[in-house]
Structure 1
Amino acid sequence: MELEDRNIDQLAGVLTDGDDYKNARQHYFRELFRLQGELVKLQDWVATTKRKVVILFEGRDAAGKGGVIKRITQRLNPRVARVVALPAPNDREKTQWYFQRYVPHLPAGGEMVLFDRSWYNRAGVERVMGFCTDDELEEFFRSVPEFEKMLVRSGIVLIKYWFSISDEEQHLRFLGRIHDPLKQWKLSPMDLESRRRWEDYTGAKEDMLHRTNIAEAPWWVVPADDKKAARLNCISHLLSQLPYHETPRPEVVLPARERHEDYVRHPVPQSMIVPQLY
């Protein structure tokens, strides 16, 4: 993942062979590993105290939401911290209460759920692309504060992040995806159309932040033109939002392996062995 970042830096014309660049990368890794150690403590605290945590990641296409989610979950137990990235609603889901398809993914006690895009699709892509009516949009804005207040009253900690990038940075990242065969799958016709409608998305974002920034679940904006700084700042802020502490662990003692004289290990047929190409 970090090698991909170096490729983006090179595309942007950043010198990647100088001492300043190497020192900056070393500092980034030191801080990332330290923060990931704190995330493990947070995970243990959530599991032990049966807390329920929901973290929403929103932002323009290529803003870096997926990158920070990967760094957050990289060293965590997927049974405690899981990622939800829902596809476009199907025909049946389109007839349901708007929030219905998100509710089954909410956490039980001892779980953290990270939404890579969320119910705020209605205030963003659906609004800009005309996938919802004006009445549906207004109903969303009336309902979402009450919906989120209900979640908080139920004991869920709800944290909402908007990743903010500049016009020029999104252009650069899209070029990186176009020219990288391993990233071309990230580009969809909707992504390309969103690029053309930059200003429409700006207006939708500003309206969304204004109308859904509630005391129970405020928005937090992450400046994300610098991917590495955005990751560190977001993770550090996330840790500051929860009163976690290190959970004592019992000392682990590896038991001795039992051995029996009648134990026989039968050979695996060669036809079942994966070819050893490497």
Structure 2
Amino acid sequence: MAKDSSSESSISNGLYEAELVRLQAELVKAQEWVKVEKRRIVVIFEGRDAAGKGGTIKRITEYLSPRNTRIAALPTPTEREKTQWYFQRYVEHLPAAGEITLFDRSWYNRAGVERVMGYCTPHEYRRFLHQCPIFERMLVEDGILLRKYWFSVSDSEQQSRFKSRLNDPMRQWKLSPMDLESITRWEDYSRAKDEMMVHTDIPEAPWLVVESDSKKRARLNMMAHLLSTIPYVEVPRPTLTLPERPAPNGYERPPREQTTYVPDHSATLS
């Protein structure tokens, strides 16, 4: 059953942009608190293809320092990684003190794509469902703030976004044959998601569902919720003063013709 996405038009661009900037400013404060307090945060973004995960991550990280906030979007595992403990390649991307890691898809690939497409055995799947809550409890017990968001998009809205990508050369890279096959396996993915949540929606790390037929609302709702779960405070920053430039002391710049400059492409536009 398709959900009503009419709410997309009920939030104006001006209101959306103003609240987005406010939340982004709060995220900057939260990142500084994480750095000073040497905390660790992991945020998992899961959901169907074209559910809006990437756009939300982009807005979250827009003004954050890449030194302290990283996006982990892992490719297909190598032959060597396939022989490792399943969670092993994700562990190396976990944050150190003062860092935030955003997982654009995560270890839950096993419960979704791998399960539906047959890329893992039934035994590997059952072992994942058993080990995943244990693994996540270990992360939380070690002090990591773990947040798990599922972006929920309707079948009609997903179809519309797929069509938009097909006709947009700037975004065609977002589509893959597997993305398109997910259309014909909608119910299989629904069953897989439901079973995954039954086993992994634990008190220490509950699943948080974001209604994402409206991209604008999904971004604001998710960002506001994430901030509400982080006990950050504004950290006083040192007062910086721009120093006076020293007087010239004999330096002479080399002749311009000795340096290779980028051609002035902008001059050709007029």
Give me the TM-score of the superposition, normalised by structure 2.
0.94
2:253 maps to 1:265? yes
Give the corresponding residue for 2:100.
Answer: 112
Which whole-Å CA distance do the structure 2 matches of 1:267 and 1:83 have between them?
A: 43
- Corresponding residue for 2:163? 175
The C-alpha deviation readout for 1:221-262, integer Å capped at 9, x for no partner, is: 000000000000000000001110100011110111223432
2:55 aligned with 1:67, yes or no?
yes
Per the alignment, residue 88 of structure 1 pairs with: 76
Pairing partner for 2:38 from 47, 50, 53: 50
Corresponding residue of 1:9: none
Q: Secondary structure at the match of 2:150?
A: strand
Which residue of structure 2 aligns with residue 6 of structure 1? none
Q: Does 1:210 align with 2:215?
A: no
Please state if 1:238 is matched with 2:231. Answer: no
Determine helix, strand or coil for the equivalent of 2:45: strand
Q: Give distance in 2, aligned partners of 1:138 and 1:91.
A: 22
Distance 1:194 1:267 in 2: 60
Question: 2: distance between equivalents of 1:83 and 1:110?
Answer: 15
Q: CA RMSD in A?
A: 1.6
CA–CA distance in structure 2, aligned partners of residues 267 and 101 of structure 1: 52
Structure 2: which 5+ residue stretches go unaligned? Answer: 1-5
Q: Which digits, 9 at most, give the CA deviation of each residue in 1:141-168, with x for residues without a partner?
A: 0100010011111111100000000000
Find the partner of 2:179 among 191, 206, 214: 191
What percentage of aligned pairs have identical amino acids? 60
For residue 209 of structure 1, report the CA deviation from its aligned partner.
1.1
For the pair 1:222 / 2:210, whether they are aligned, the reply is: yes
Aligned residues: 261
- 1:271 CA drift (Å): 5.8
Shifted more, 45-54 versus 251-260: the winner is 251-260
Deviation at 1:270, TM superposition (A): 6.1
Return the structure number with greater relative CO, CA threshold 8 A, min gap 6: 2
SS at match of 2:43: strand
Q: CA deviation at 1:100?
A: 0.4
User: Structure 2: which amino acid aligns with 1:273?
Assistant: Y
Query: Which secondary structure does the structure 2 equivalent of 1:269 belong to?
Result: helix
Q: Distance in 2 between matches of 1:267 and 1:188?
A: 51
Structure 1's unaligned 5+ residue stretches are 1-13
| Residue equivalent to 2:89 | 101
2:123 aligned with 1:135, yes or no? yes
Residues 1:35 and 2:26 aligned together:
no
* TM-score, scaled to structure 1: 0.91
* 1:16-47 deviation line (CA, Å, top 9, x unaligned): 9xxx87x7000000000010010011011001
Runs of 4+ in structure 1 deviating by more than 6 angstroms, as ranges, are none
**Which residue number corresponds to residue 14 of structure 2?**
26
